[in-house]
Amino acid sequence: MTPQHLRQAYPDELQALISIDDNASQLYAEAGLVIEFESDHPFVVDESVRWAEAIQKGLAYVVTNEYDTPIGFMTLDFVDQVPYLDQLAVHPDYMRQGVGSRLLDFAIAWSDKKPLWLTTYSHIAWNKPYYEKHGFTAVPEEGCGPQLRDILNKQRAALPAPEQRIAMVLLINQVMA
């Protein structure tokens, strides 16, 4: 296994994050969910802006290999005044080596025992079940705050299989009990 280090993303690493996400997205196509956008598509531009802002705020983290090259990343934020995992992606060459779990464990610790929210696909085998394994539960849209509902609506408007986009939450108190 490759030696790994978790650290904050550097200001010049936005393109590395985008590349990791692009490579990881190829797995969706293999599962029958083709996500292809031009680099100037509004969804892609918005995502890049959010990730750049996360880097600037110190809320983007990477796991690096032995050469300090990012191999996985996550961006965090606050949505409806609670912690939100905006994105988690691992380069396919490094999947199933604990990179995603390392990032997710850090996000859980970062949430400081507050509910940690995310959005994902419900029908892709490595999405919802992965988060459920870590204690997350699906939440009906009416159980989400207004900002999270807005995020879901934007994702559903742009991404394929919109009916499969869901919100999930980890209630730390339930996990720790």
- Give the chain's domain count: 1
- Rounded CA-CA distance 126/104 in Å is 14
CATH number of the domain residue 98 falls in: 3.40.630.30
Domain that holds residue 76: 5-176
Q: Where are the beta strands (DSSP E) in the chain?
A: 5-8, 60-64, 70-79, 82-90, 116-121, 137-139, 165-170
In contact, 105 and 136? CB cutoff 8 Å: no
- The number of angstroms, rounded, from the C-alpha of 150 to the middle of its chain's C-alpha atoms is 17
In contact, 87 and 43? CB cutoff 8 Å: no
User: Per-residue confidence of the chain (177 residues) as pLDDT tens digits?
Assistant: 567 899 999 999 999 999 999 999 888 888 888 888 888 889 999 999 999 999 999 999 999 999 999 999 999 999 999 999 999 999 999 999 999 999 999 999 999 999 999 999 999 888 899 999 999 999 999 999 999 999 999 999 999 999 999 999 999 765 444
